[in-house]
Structure 1
């Protein structure tokens, strides 16, 4: 009993440290050390670190996906995709509101970094929004919502997808098939509520398409779209989900990590061929991206795993399992509310999702729930919670581009995100998902 109480105090301490803007990794690691000391198993930390630093199931997919994102930036394929998505929105002011969110959402599918998505889309979208009379706060909130509320979860290299595949032993295609309806339900709800709020609060003025075109030209936004470049960011998903249906692949590609790495590397070659002048820079850009992923994402995976293993070492997982036994509804409620709240406090969707998944997914089957579905709920709600955090990197990036305080953007997206969470909560408790 005493051990359980002390374990809970350490967990709360980790949350408080992150809320006080301590580095997420440092907060988790310090408290993980305390947890292993409490359990008398401190040497086990070094075993876990060694395993996770070289874990091909997480390192390979995540690092190659981010390496690909850096190649897209080098070859400007990401910009061409952004311009292609935004091109139809020139025909009216009110198309820019839902269309801008959808465009950022799709770009985030290809580029797993939310702040990078905001930076790429924002430089094109924000000037258009402001030029047609949309308030800066609404423009920034629109960018934030599209860049952060879940597009990443459709990328097979996303950290949450990779971790869930590792925990459940399922393929990424199986994981993404489960993610699709749940993620879209939350995202579409948030999109609709946001659009309704904007329509209520904004002046309903009509802007002619000629005025928008003129604005594009004055701002230097309009340029020739290379359609091949624009489609390159989506190539890995085509290779992973379409090609296996029509072509029998070698048995080696049954391994998730090998399949994802192959898709990303083939797409990198394709991106390089669209920009011959950049060929000599491809290796540097790829490994810079992979290094960024290791330093900023894999490090979160490692520390979150150490932290949750420390919780397990003190028997709290068994206590939680017993508490949730025959209480499937309570477990579903926990998988929705806990990650949403923690991500909102800490500003980290990935670290929160991994930590909560490490606890709930392994015990899901024991409490009569589907592990993949539990992990999906955790991943989606962590994304929603992160988007509501004023300390999240994507919120800060969006506020910088829009030149508005982070809290102002958070206030604009709070109700839509809560609506998305509410719909998931109702659907989960009614066993619709």
Structure 2
């Protein structure tokens, strides 16, 4: 009986998420309701308190978002994007694949998909349209690259999986690195072929869209967004052992170096860093906390055990569920976070029971959810890019459909290899 009630609550939860109600409110309410039905209301509240002090996640996510706000304040992100745009404008045949790869690179350094969409879209969409690329295809090319955050140690899912597995964040990234690059190359090739097949790679007459040719790029500024990533990679690979450090230290060092290079107001820069940290806790960690409460409700009402038992009886469906489940929910809801966090909290700790490692299953769920969100017409990043290009978000989603599905298939094959 309780299992049936739980299923009904989950269906209602998905409905409200699709209707774009606040994910934190929906997940919190659902988790508390299921815990109350199970007769253990304090389970959900205890989960809330526990998730609030998840130190590993707080350190990584908040420090990265603080650094991202510093890059926005100093305009170093703008210099990086314009530097890439200047190079791409000189090789028109490689413009579309180049924009996908460049956007991906920007998203690695600046892990917010919506932030990357706004910053990169404002430069790359006008650049492509002025070169004759159809507006919807220009938007699709930028959107196609907005999952580079998978390679950023501050993406909440990376430290989340690392904590469950008991390994370092860079170990998680090292595991899914090849799968991510393979999926990126697949998506890049497919979006380029679609552009040529639809004849949208050239011939469009843009009015009022001109690249920011007058912008003077400062190369040292352009290097600042990737500085902490370089430090972390050099330290994690022992190329420079002295650089071995955790994410927060690297982000603070990156912010200090940016201050020295740009000579901006130290007070304003400090405010930007802490504003970013606060925003990260409220918006990103808020979803993680709510997902934890939701999973506690699922556990209390018996759905997690029922789901786990069904997968143990049918191990063949586990790999499909880990990838396709978060992908579909990311597509439908417009955010891969809620589905991925819930899956990784409830199922991924039991990965060994299905013949998989925690990092493997967690990476599959993360990549699936991220690619689903990248394809979604209602994702915030899609809506931002559509606004810049002046097209319907659905037009961008249609062009990204095949590239994202292809990217998921190839990425999952690499993760399962």
What secondary structure does 1:400 align onto?
helix
Q: Retained in 1: the 8 A contact 2:43–2:296?
A: no
Q: Retained in 1: the 8 A contact 2:228–2:254?
A: yes
Question: CA offset at residue 319 of structure 1?
Answer: 2.1
Per the alignment, do residues 406 and 203 of structure 1 end up closer, same or farther by CA in structure 2, a change over 3 Å counting? Answer: closer
Of 315-324 and 22-31, deviating more is 315-324
Taking the aligned partners of 2:16 and 2:201, their CA distance within structure 1 comes to 45
What secondary structure does 1:91 align onto?
coil
Structure 1: which 5+ runs fail to align?
208-214, 254-258
Per the alignment, do residues 117 and 16 of structure 1 end up closer, same or farther by CA in structure 2, a change over 3 Å counting? Answer: same
Of 25-34 and 238-247, deviating more is 238-247
Matched, 1:183 2:180: yes
- CA displacement, residues 300-347 of structure 1 (integer Å, 9 cap, x when unaligned): 110011111211122222222222226443110110110001111111
- CA displacement, residues 61-84 of structure 1 (integer Å, 9 cap, x when unaligned): 101100000000111111111122
Question: CA offset at residue 199 of structure 1?
Answer: 1.0
- CA displacement, residues 375-402 of structure 1 (integer Å, 9 cap, x when unaligned): 1011011011112222211111111111
Taking the aligned partners of 2:412 and 2:8, their CA distance within structure 1 comes to 28
Taking the aligned partners of 1:357 and 1:201, their CA distance within structure 2 comes to 39
What secondary structure does 2:111 align onto?
coil
Taking the aligned partners of 2:228 and 2:298, their CA distance within structure 1 comes to 37
What secondary structure does 2:264 align onto?
helix
Question: CA offset at residue 248 of structure 1?
Answer: 4.3
CA RMSD of aligned residues (A): 2.2
Aligned to 2:216: 224
Aligned to 1:307: 294
- CA displacement, residues 219-274 of structure 1 (integer Å, 9 cap, x when unaligned): 543433222211111111122120351444599x5xxxxx1110000000011111
Aligned to 1:272: 259
Instruction: Name the count of aligned residue pairs.
Output: 414
TM-score, normalised via structure 2 length = 0.94
Structure 2: which 5+ runs fail to align?
none
Matched, 1:329 2:316: yes
Q: Retained in 1: the 8 A contact 2:30–2:294?
A: yes
Aligned to 1:401: 388
Aligned to 2:23: 24
Per the alignment, do residues 39 and 416 of structure 1 end up closer, same or farther by CA in structure 2, a change over 3 Å counting? Answer: same
Matched, 1:107 2:99: no
5 Å matches for 1:373-388? Answer: 373-388=360-375
Taking the aligned partners of 1:203 and 1:310, their CA distance within structure 2 comes to 49
**Equivalent of 2:330 in 298, 320, 343:** 343
Taking the aligned partners of 1:360 and 1:114, their CA distance within structure 2 comes to 26
**Equivalent of 2:198 in 188, 196, 201:** 201
Q: Retained in 2: the 8 A contact 1:24–1:346?
A: no
Per the alignment, do residues 192 and 250 of structure 1 end up closer, same or farther by CA in structure 2, a change over 3 Å counting? Answer: closer
Q: Retained in 2: the 8 A contact 1:321–1:367?
A: no
